[in-house]
Structure 1
Amino acid sequence: MQRPIVAVTLLWTAGYALAIIAPLSKLSFTTSLILGIVSVLLWLVPFPGHKIVCGLLFIGIAAGYYGGYDRVNHSSLSDSFVSSDTFVTGTSVSLQGTIATPVEVDGDKATFILESDGKGSERFLVNVKLLTKREQESALQWSRADKVSLLGTAKLPEEARNFGGFDYRRYLRLQHIHWQVAVKGAEQLEVHPPSSWNWRMLLRWNDQLRDRLGSGVEQLFPEEQAGFMKGMLIGLTDDLDPQQFQQFSQLGLTHIIAISGLNVTIFLGCLVWLMRKLGFTRETYLITAMIMMPLYIAVTGASPSIVRAGLMALIALYAAYRHALKDGLHVVLLVGLGMLVWEPYYLLDVSFQLSFLVTIGLILGVPAVNRLLPIRSRSWRDALSIAIVAQAVSFPVSIYYFNQFSLLSLAANLCLVPLFSMAVMPAGTAAMLLGLAYLPAGKAIAWAVAKLNGWIFWLVDLASGWDAFQTIWGTPGFAWIACYYGGGVLLLYGVYLYKEGLRPAEQRPMLGSHTMRSPLSEGLKASAIPLLLAFGTLWMMLLLFWGYYAERWSKDGEVDFIDVGQGDSILVRSPVSRSILLIDGGGTVSFRKPGEEWKERKDPYEVGRKLLVPLLKKRGIQQIDYLFISHQDADHIGGLQAVLEQIPVKQLVFNGTFKPGPAVEKLFETALDKGTQLVKAYSGDILEVDEVTALHMLFPFQEEREAPIRLEKEQNGQSIVFVMKMQQTRWLFTGDVDQAGEEAVLRRLKQQSAAGDRVIDPAFGAALSNTPEEAAILPVDVLKIAHHGSKTSSSPAWLDAWKPKLAVISAGAHNIYGHPNAQVTDRLHERRIGVFRTDRQGEIQMRVNSDGEIRVRTKLIP
Structure 2
Amino acid sequence: MKNNHLIFWTWIWVFGYCMAIWLPLLEVSLLIISSLILVVGILWFMKLPGLNVISWIMLLSISIGYYQWFDQRNVTGIHAESNDEILLEMKGRITSSIVVDGDHVGFTIMASEVKYLETELNRSKKTQKVKESVQVSVRLLEQNEQETAYTWQRGDDISLSGKLQIPAIARNFGGFDYRQYLRQQHIHWIFTLKGLDSVNSQSSFHWNRLQLLRYNDQFRGFLADKLDQLFPESQAGYMKSLLIGLRVDLDPQQFQQFSNLGLTHILAISGMQVAVFCAVVLWFLRKLRFTKETGLLIAIALLPFYVLFTGSSPSVVRAGLMAMIALYAVRRNWLKDALKLLCLVGGLMLVWNPYSLLDVSFQLSFTVTYGLIVGVPWVSQLLPQQKLINSTLSVTLVAQAVSFPLTIYYFNQFSLLSWLANIILVPFISFVVTPIGSIALILSLVNEPTAQVIAYLAIISNRFTFWLTDVMDSWNGFKLIWASPSIVWISFYYGFVSLIIGCLIRWNSVRQARLQGVFIGFIQSSRGISLVILCNLCCFIGLLWYGYQPDLWRNKGQVQFIDVGQGDAILIHTPNNKFILVDGGGTLVFRKAGDDWKQRKNPYEVGKNTLVPLLKKRGVHHLDYLIATHEDADHIGGLQAVLEQIPVDNFIFNGTLKPNAGVEKLFKTALDLQIPLLAGNENLEIPIDATTKLHFLYPLTQKAASDNPNPTSFNGLTIENNQNNYSLVFMLEMYNSRFLFTGDMEKSSENILLEHLEAQSESNESIPIDVLKVAHHGSKTSTTEEWLNYWQPKLAAISVGGYNTYGHPTEEVLSRLAEHDVEVMRTDEEGEIQMTVTETGIQTRHKLK
TM-score when normalising by structure 2: 0.94
TM-aligned CA distance change 1:40 to 1:276, over 3 Å: closer
TM-aligned CA distance change 1:195 to 1:359, over 3 Å: closer
| Structure 2 residue ranges without an equivalent (≥5) | 114-128, 706-712
Rounded Cα–Cα distance in structure 1 between residues aligned with 2:552 and 2:826: 28
Any residues of structure 2 matched to 1:157-306 within 5 Å, and which? 157-276=167-286, 280-306=290-316
Show the counterpart of 1:586: 585
Show the counterpart of 1:439: 448
Rounded Cα–Cα distance in structure 2 between residues aligned with 1:371 and 1:251: 27
Structure 2 contact 335–341 (Cα < 8 Å) conserved: no
The amino acid of 1:392's aligned partner reads A
Show the counterpart of 1:415: 424
Structure 1 contact 96–148 (Cα < 8 Å) conserved: yes
Cα deviation, residue 29, structure 1: 3.1
Any residues of structure 2 matched to 1:722-761 within 5 Å, and which? 722-753=730-761, 756=762
Q: Are 2:5 and 1:4 aligned? A: yes
Rounded Cα–Cα distance in structure 1 between residues aligned with 2:32 and 2:704: 74
Show the counterpart of 2:372: 362
Cα deviation, residue 522, structure 1: 6.9
Show the counterpart of 1:636: 635
Any residues of structure 2 matched to 1:705-854 within 5 Å, and which? 708-753=716-761, 756=762, 769=763, 775-851=764-840, 853-854=841-842
Cα deviation, residue 34, structure 1: 3.6
SS of residue paired to 1:447: helix
Cα deviation, residue 818, structure 1: 1.2
111-120 or 156-165: which moved more?
111-120
Cα deviation, residue 194, structure 1: 1.6
Show the counterpart of 2:52: 51
User: Deviation digits for residues 703-742 of structure 1, max 9, x if unmatched?
Assistant: 4999942111111110000111111101000000111111
Show the counterpart of 2:87: 92
Structure 2 contact 625–648 (Cα < 8 Å) conserved: yes
TM-score when normalising by structure 1: 0.93
Structure 1 contact 23–67 (Cα < 8 Å) conserved: no
Q: Are 2:86 and 1:74 aligned? A: no
Show the counterpart of 2:605: 606
Structure 1 contact 586–637 (Cα < 8 Å) conserved: yes
Q: Are 2:110 and 1:115 aligned? A: yes
User: Deviation digits for residues 769-803 of structure 1, max 9, x if unmatched?
Assistant: 2xxxxx12111000000011111111111111111
TM-aligned CA distance change 1:195 to 1:206, over 3 Å: closer
Q: Are 2:431 and 1:430 aligned? A: no
780-789 or 705-714: which moved more?
705-714
Show the counterpart of 1:766: none
Show the counterpart of 2:573: 573
Rounded Cα–Cα distance in structure 1 between residues aligned with 2:833 and 2:30: 39
Show the counterpart of 1:474: 483
SS of residue paired to 2:588: coil
Show the counterpart of 1:559: 559
Rounded Cα–Cα distance in structure 2 between residues aligned with 1:650 and 1:467: 14
Structure 1 contact 32–63 (Cα < 8 Å) conserved: no
SS of residue paired to 2:293: helix
User: Deviation digits for residues 619-668 of structure 1, max 9, x if unmatched?
Assistant: 00000000000001111111000100110000000111111111111111
Structure 1 contact 494–536 (Cα < 8 Å) conserved: no
Cα deviation, residue 322, structure 1: 2.4
SS of residue paired to 2:444: helix
Structure 1 contact 551–619 (Cα < 8 Å) conserved: no
User: Deviation digits for residues 95-138 of structure 1, max 9, x if unmatched?
Assistant: 11110111111111111111112664111101111111111100
The amino acid of 2:491's aligned partner reads A
Show the counterpart of 2:20: 19
Rounded Cα–Cα distance in structure 2 between residues aligned with 1:633 and 1:434: 53
SS of residue paired to 2:701: coil
TM-aligned CA distance change 1:521 to 1:26, over 3 Å: farther
Structure 2 contact 111–132 (Cα < 8 Å) conserved: yes
User: Deviation digits for residues 369-409 of structure 1, max 9, x if unmatched?
Assistant: 11111x23111100110000000000001100000000000
The amino acid of 2:73's aligned partner reads V
Q: Are 2:107 and 1:101 aligned? A: no
Show the counterpart of 1:142: 152
Cα deviation, residue 456, structure 1: 1.1
The structure 1 residue matched to 2:468, chosen from 437, 456, 459, is: 459
Structure 1 contact 808–837 (Cα < 8 Å) conserved: yes
TM-aligned CA distance change 1:806 to 1:314, over 3 Å: same
CA RMSD of aligned residues (A): 2.0
Cα deviation, residue 826, structure 1: 1.0
Rounded Cα–Cα distance in structure 2 between residues aligned with 1:111 and 1:560: 34
Show the counterpart of 2:675: 676
Rounded Cα–Cα distance in structure 2 between residues aligned with 1:43 and 1:327: 24
SS of residue paired to 2:624: strand
248-257 or 531-540: which moved more?
531-540
Cα deviation, residue 30, structure 1: 3.8
667-676 or 333-342: which moved more?
667-676
Show the counterpart of 1:378: 387
SS of residue paired to 1:390: helix
Structure 2 contact 510–523 (Cα < 8 Å) conserved: no
The amino acid of 1:745's aligned partner reads L
Rounded Cα–Cα distance in structure 2 between residues aligned with 1:92 and 1:40: 52
The structure 2 residue matched to 1:125, chosen from 135, 149, 166, is: 135
Cα deviation, residue 752, structure 1: 1.4
Q: Are 2:501 and 1:492 aligned? A: yes
337-346 or 90-99: which moved more?
90-99
469-478 or 287-296: which moved more?
287-296
Rounded Cα–Cα distance in structure 1 between residues aligned with 2:332 and 2:166: 52
TM-aligned CA distance change 1:745 to 1:254, over 3 Å: same
Rounded Cα–Cα distance in structure 2 between residues aligned with 1:227 and 1:584: 34
| Structure 1 residue ranges without an equivalent (≥5) | 509-514, 757-768, 770-774
Rounded Cα–Cα distance in structure 2 between residues aligned with 1:424 and 1:40: 52
Show the counterpart of 1:550: 550
Cα deviation, residue 43, structure 1: 4.4
Cα deviation, residue 816, structure 1: 1.4
SS of residue paired to 1:649: coil
The amino acid of 1:574's aligned partner reads T
Cα deviation, residue 285, structure 1: 3.4
Count of matched residue positions in the alignment of Structure 1 and Structure 2: 824
407-416 or 706-715: which moved more?
706-715
The amino acid of 1:859's aligned partner reads K
Rounded Cα–Cα distance in structure 2 between residues aligned with 1:585 and 1:30: 53
Rounded Cα–Cα distance in structure 2 between residues aligned with 1:698 and 1:475: 37
Cα deviation, residue 283, structure 1: 3.2
Show the counterpart of 1:760: none
